[in-house]
Structure 1
Amino acid sequence: MADGLGLPLKKPPGYIDPTPRPRPPPTGPKPAFYQPKKKKNSCCRICCCCVCFVIVFLILILAIGGGIFYAWFQPKIPVFGFRPLELDRFNISVKPDGTALLDSKAVVRVEAKNPNSKLEIYFGETEVSLSFDKETQLGSATLSSFVQPSNNVTLLKFVLSEENQLIDSSTGTRLKKRVKNEDVEVNVAVKTKIGIGVWKVKIGMLPINVNCGGITLKQLDDGQTSPKCSFNTLRW
């Protein structure tokens, strides 16, 4: 401060200059835990972005390719049907101890239709099982894998037999009467795996399970009533 004559005024005792002064940098040693911050490396970000872009690009390519494939080939699952059942042998021997022995031989014919006009169907090992009234098993049989051409109907023949199968006498007596009257309920189950063939290249093998029933032996032999069938995949 200065007076009118340009001479500096004396500061009163105890005066503190309000102007802050910069502190000098510390000259002592830095703490051991102190570490200078490093600049983030942008290379990691660039790599992650590239990987994400490639993944998204591949997903888009697969989705577009799958859409084109489905639109062009229109893949369909096979259709199964059943011919009249041949019961070559069916004997039940009732014992005094309350048990019975079942001796049977049946021929099951399964009709598999490939409805695809541009695709073959690859069948894995195919198993067929037969039961009466959903409680008495009449055996099972398998056929080896085969290839079905497009627009083709293939007839599969299975021979099922049971010898000395133990059942209770009441079931045996009732079953014997129902088979004689042809009013016993027939149930057929098919288990197999299917894949599609494009230009001789096999794509995938999907497990399928077909259960058909709700029809009597007489109705099946007449061929006028179709059995009720349930179809599922990816589980047995």
Structure 2
Amino acid sequence: MIARLRLQPADVGMGLTGQRVRDRLIEDLRAGGIADERVLNAIRTVPRHQFVDEALASRAYENNALPIGHGQTISQPYVVAKMTEALLRDGSPQRVLEVGTGSGYQAAVLAALGLDVFTVERIGDLLRTARKRFRALGLHVRSKHDDGRIGWPEQAPFDAIIVTAAAPALVDALLEQLAPGGVLVAPVGATGAQTLLRLRKEADGGITREELGAVVFVPLLSGMID
């Protein structure tokens, strides 16, 4: 079930931001193997063109990553769908931590699915813009300006964690904030050799690991920028 978004005429879009191009994107995602209708409906509903610069709005429903400034990107819709589907595979987690808010699009998709979303972003300018987008759409997303590698320990444990930047190895602090039975989805590896991983923390603390394919993400960096 998709949460009710506060959509304005500009969110509904027209022409290259309208329903026809969104439906075409959904068919592309289906053809690429995305099967969870909840995920497809969320991506159809969330206005991706509102999460990019106005000059790039006409390209928002292409299945490509796009620049959002500060050396960051809004992820390819297929990757957003694949990571979201991996989180939902065993059911709907209630509390989800996102590391790397960026444009806010991935968090908006999660919130549209009715999940309780917490998101951390190290670049203050990106976070301030994302917060405006959440408010405009009526999405309740809790956000924090902080080093994403630290996670959000005060709000832990989380049923799921999604990381939208790649570290050379898994970050122990994030695994520690995952509840038993919880799922973490993250790209791991050096530039040019990144793999999307799905990890499940078992009741005994053990980790089940699954590789979901090669991906390309910006690096997960430490520190904060105002």
| Alignment TM class, shorter chain as reference | under 0.3
In terms of fraction of residues, the more strand-rich structure is 1
| TM-score, with structure 2 as normaliser | 0.18
